Structure 1
């Protein structure tokens, strides 16, 4: 009787291994590749993933959130709203933005909770239009129209807020030259 039960257990285990360990993962991977190829492969473009925030140096580029240069160092700072260190950091970031001629906005001063947010608010993008246009010798209207073309609404029309992907915006900006 012991051998019969052992054999049944091994057969059931083998069946579930084939179904859940091989067939299901292969099927979901195939569906993902067929229907959502870009998303399933990390949404990688020629300059990196549109899902991971990147740092841009110089006034000729739109700046994203001040999340740092290391995408593997994710997570927040764990500093509370009454933290003197956090307030001082925000003041320094705001002063640096004003020095560049950019009106500070929350998305340009505060880091994201994940540390790798690729998006900023439309207000944060529009706040940088004059600076980017001047640095690239373009008209404000042309750069403003470029930002407007890259504003995405909330997902499915109601989930989240409008946003601008900084990598996609900067790639389009590079294409203007």
Structure 2
């Protein structure tokens, strides 16, 4: 049974960054640990003993790490703004690998654009997100059939998505973080035009 303490998630867990977990347990593959939930990127200032929600989070996180490895092998998440990439990179400093697969779906990236951004030797796939979820967008990107995953457990689905993500070798336009800041649009209200 893989323990979180034996994985790259240990530091984030100790820092109290792994929030609202739908999955925070070993997956169905031996030696593998999965997390699905939110990752706190910036904590709100606390007064006395009141607990406040984080000021900044990476949402809809789907991630996987192997026991005994210093880096998280796969992460996909939603960022409210492309600008959060730098903060995410700082929070995960020392926990990412040049061979890892990291997919960031950003609210304010043009819907027709897909980029690759390298920060300190770590490559991030930057993708737009419309009104879908990170999970659905990933299935589409990785050519996974939703119907085939329907009966799998949350841990099993995470394994399947992680396996496909680790094989991903798509090539998107490489840009710098600074170019991304120049190109990003305003943050869209994702609840706009939705029926009440």
Q: State TM-score, norm by structure 2.
A: 0.22
Pick the structure with greater CA Rg. 1
Question: Which protein has greater RCO, CA pairs closer than 8 Å, 6+ apart?
Answer: 1
The structure whose residues are more often helix, as a share, is 1
Q: State TM-score, norm by structure 1.
A: 0.23
